[in-house]
Amino acid sequence: MVARILDGKALSARLRARVRQRAEAIAQHGLQPGLAVVLVGENPASQLYVNNKVRACVESGVRSLRYNLPRQTSETELLALICRLNADEQVHGILVQLPLPDHIDVRRVLETIAIEKDVDGFHAQNVGHLTLGHPRLPSCTPAGVMALLDDAGIDPAGKNAVVIGASNIVGKPMALMLLSRGATVTVCHAQTRDLTQHTVLADIVVVAAGCPKLVQKQMIQSGAVIVDVGINRLPDGSIVGDVDFDQVKTKAGWISPVPGGVGPMTVTMLMENTLRAAEYHQSARLAE
């Protein structure tokens, strides 16, 4: 068997064209969706991600405001910027790129972003909505994975799903989204004793561990759906995921490549959330 490809690049192109149409529709009412992207420090990976997000805004008809703050920016200064953006009528989404420097309290920063502008879906209240099964602004990477599965006609209902990685950004919201769609979900993490014991039973594996080649052919069921959220830079400069792609693709039913799988979908879901936030803003304005 050779796995079919979950092509995030192709799906993203289609979805971004739709976002653009929605942006044009609300522009007719004098409103251009706006996303503020805040980067603190010079982390090269974060700079790359932020560049991709700003480029996607151009493609999707979203106005982007980029704030590059020096590494020494104090927490108070960052919170003051977020408060200004919260109050800015032209800004519908606010994204603070993570990780932040150690002297800044991430939780305080995320809780300061107005929930209706929290396009990352990281605010505790948005996480609460997701947990209760009615997300308003779902976090982007897991929402991108769900969109890839839906596009391929893969219904999680009744399936065994294993999520590898329990981060707040990917693993936990991923598990909640799969659960809300009827999957039986197991979350594995750095302290899981025997990963293979879980993955061999999985119909769907989503891996977000940051370990190149963590998922090997002998760890999966024949025909399983393998979604790779990992982005790892090897010493030779190449980018690989968390799955041993060349081996696993000969046994899996579906597999997402890196690059070109989940990565572009994360950015596309950010555009979708920005549009959603702008549309909420517009309907609230019309109701006034």
Residues annotated catalytic, as ranges: 53, 97, 120
User: 3-class SS at 20?
Assistant: helix
| Positive or negative torsion for Cα 113, 168, 95, 21 | negative
Q: Which one of residues 91, 95, 113, 207 is an interface residue with ligand GUN (CB under 6 A)?
A: 95
Q: Which is nearer to ligand GUN, 94 or 187 (CB)?
A: 94
Whether 64 and 58 have beta carbons less than 8 Å apart is answered as: yes
Q: Which one of residues 141, 160, 268, 273 is an interface residue with ligand GUN (CB under 6 A)?
A: 141
Contacting range for ligand GUN; rule: CB under 6 A; set: 22-30, 62-70, 91-99, 151-159: 91-99
Contacting range for ligand GUN; rule: CB under 6 A; set: 60-68, 92-100, 156-164, 238-246: 92-100
Structure tokens at 16: 């971004």
Burial of residue 213 (CB within 10 Å: 0-12, 13-18, 19+) is middle
Contacting range for ligand GUN; rule: CB under 6 A; set: 73-81, 90-98, 194-202, 254-262: 90-98
Q: Which one of residues 82, 145, 169, 252 is an interface residue with ligand GUN (CB under 6 A)?
A: 169
Question: Which residues 17-56 are close enough to bind ligand GUN by CB under 6 A?
Answer: none
Q: Which one of residues 54, 65, 98, 152 is an interface residue with ligand GUN (CB under 6 A)?
A: 98
Burial of residue 191 (CB within 10 Å: 0-12, 13-18, 19+) is exposed
What does 210-227 look like in DSSP terms, one character per residue? --TT-B-GGGS-TT-EEE
Residues that bind ligand GUN (CB under 6 A): 95-98, 120, 140-141, 169, 266
